[in-house]
Amino acid sequence: MNELDLIKNDPYLKKLIAENGLTDPFIDENLPAFLRVYRSRDLCKGCQGLEMCAQKTAGERLSLEYDGVLIEEIERCRFGSFIHRRKQLRDAYIYCDIPEKLLDLDLFNIVPKMNQRTLFTELFNIYDEKRNKGLFISGNVGTGKSYNCTALANSLVKKGKRVAYVKAANFFNDLKARYAGGNEGIDTLINRIKNADVLFLDDLGSEGVSEFVRDDVLFRILDYRMENRKMTLFISNYSKKDLFKHYQYDRRDNPNTMNATRLMERIDILSDDYVLTGKDLREEEYA
């Protein structure tokens, strides 16, 4: 089969030719463009997803438009569009420490488990601005605390809110690395977190405690958010009582009950307690 026949028999190009009444002489005159698009789209045959994508840029292929002249364009396939939507959402966050696969969640596409339904209602009240105080969500590992809060966070970003979703240990390691590098960007980052419309502090208590973590960062952020009545959600495997014990000592095992008390007072003012009970759903997933 010659090149002209290849092009005229390709389903995508055949439709383009028919819809625009393109003649053989026109195709022949623009043969290099038609062939580039044919070869690009031919790579998509038998597609097995982005990990096996044969395109130069995964998830993107060439397409043609005709508007009096032939125009070559880059088109995202369904997988590429999927990744692009995730990137757009992540970029809209002030700070986003959410696993890639959870960026697809929102309050409108998840079905909460039986043990999560009351929490789900409370999260929806935050989304609808019917609740003006945050939540301190505690409970065992794997009960769905982070999963449901991620759905709320993504929904709020889509709504246009300025959201920071912070995993405590990762965030403080990031700050410590910046501190070791000469304090570069620390104040800017802390100020962004302070001023978020909605802040999620996830896995609180997983971070190592020091005066820097407790007093220079956490207290500074939460004191500002308390004074300015900003919505803040805390997610932890610890109860507030156990979290107080966690913050009572710094890394040198020096007791500082006063600073721990001041920090926990702000957490109390910013949030109502919610204990999520149930079994570890992640164990079910891998059972």
CATH number of the domain bearing residue 259? 3.40.50.300
Pair (73, 147) in one structural domain: no
- The pLDDT tens digits of the residues spanning 208-249 come to 888 888 999 999 999 999 999 999 999 999 999 999 999 998
Kindly state the tokens that stand for 4: 């002209």
| Residue 270 near residue 133, CB atoms below 8 Å | yes
> Do 76 and 119 sit in the same domain of this protein?
no
Query: Is the same domain home to 192 and 140?
Result: yes
Say what the pLDDT of residue 72 is: 92
Residues 71 and 175 in one domain: no
97/23 same-domain check? no
Which letter does DSSP use for residue 190 in this model?
A: H
35 and 164 together in one domain: no
Residue 207 maps to a domain = yes
Per-residue pLDDT at 283 exceeds 70: no
CA atoms of 61 and 53, how far apart (whole Å): 10
Q: Which domain holds residue 31?
A: 3-80
The answer to whether residues 68 and 135 belong to one domain is no
Helix (H, G, I), strand (E, B) or coil at 272: strand
What is the rounded end-to-end Cα distance, in angstroms, of the chain? 53
Does 121 lie in the same domain as 72?
Answer: no
The neighbour count for residue 54, using CB atoms within 10 Å, is 14
pTM over 0.95: no
Residues 16, 156, single domain; the answer is: no
Q: Calculate the CA 281 to chain-centre distance.
A: 21
Helix axes 145-158, 117-127, angle to 10 degrees: 20
Tallying the residues shown for the chain, one arrives at 287
In a shared domain, residues 147 and 108: yes
Mean pLDDT (the chain) is 90
Q: What are 23-62's pLDDT values in tens digits?
A: 999 999 999 999 999 999 988 888 888 778 888 888 888 9
166 and 45 both lie in a single domain: no
Residue pLDDT, tens place only, 139-193: 988 889 999 999 999 999 999 999 999 999 999 888 888 877 666 688 889 999 9
Whether 112 and 25 map to the same domain: the answer is: no
- Give the CA distances from residue 147 to residues 176, 195, 236, 239, 281, in Å, rounded to whole numbers and listed in that order: 27, 24, 13, 19, 11
CA atoms within 13 A of residue 201's CA, in its CB half-sphere: 27
Residue 87 lies in a domain: no
| Position 213 in a domain | yes
Domain count within the chain: 2
Three-state SS annotation for 218-231: HHHHHHHHHHCCCE
Q: What is the reported pLDDT for 286?
A: 28
Q: Are 144 and 278 in contact (CB under 8 A)?
A: yes
- Residues 278, 121: Cα–Cα separation, whole Å: 17
